[in-house]
Homo-oligomer: A and B are copies of this chain.
Amino acid sequence: VKRFRFDDDVAFAPREKLLDGVTVAPLSRSISEGSPVQAAVFRVAPGGRIARHPATYAQILAVLDGSGKVSGAGGVDEQIAAGEAVFWPAGEEHDTKTDTGLTALIIEGDGLEPFSRQL
């Protein structure tokens, strides 16, 4: 058993043009380090954003706290709030922004697919 933290005190602010007002606290190792997927908690400050770009890998974004807006290839903003998730396949242009702040889990990796309820 190993323990680690992912609270805001240990998060870092990547120097990355796409990220505006965003801190990142990784949960897993990165894909570049050999992990099958990479998972991290992203905290977006009020007025912050993850700017529009194509998804590098298939990606699930799950809003844990707060609310904001997401869009996909169509570029239409849709409200999203805690308890709601979004999936973008690899290559889909997308963005995430918030007026009031949000915390989201992002999991991404080849072959990742969102949960869909069995009918």
Contacts and interface: CB of A to CB of B under 8 A. Distances in A.
A39 B64 contact: no
**Identical chains in the assembly:** 2
Interface string A11-43: 000000000000000111100011111011100
Quick one: which of A70, A78, A115 has the most chain B CB within 10 A? A115
Interface of A: 1-8, 10, 26-29, 33-37, 39-41, 60, 62, 64, 70-74, 78, 80, 82-88, 92, 94, 105, 107, 109-117
17 contacts: A1-B70, A1-B86, A2-B86, A3-B85, A3-B86, A4-B84, A5-B83, A6-B85, A10-B117, A26-B115, A27-B62, A27-B85, A27-B115, A29-B115, A37-B112, A40-B115, A41-B62
Given A1-B87, A29-B116, 20 more contacts: A3-B78, A4-B84, A4-B87, A8-B83, A10-B117, A27-B105, A27-B107, A28-B60, A28-B107, A28-B115, A34-B113, A36-B37, A36-B111, A36-B112, A37-B109, A39-B39, A39-B60, A39-B107, A40-B115, A64-B64
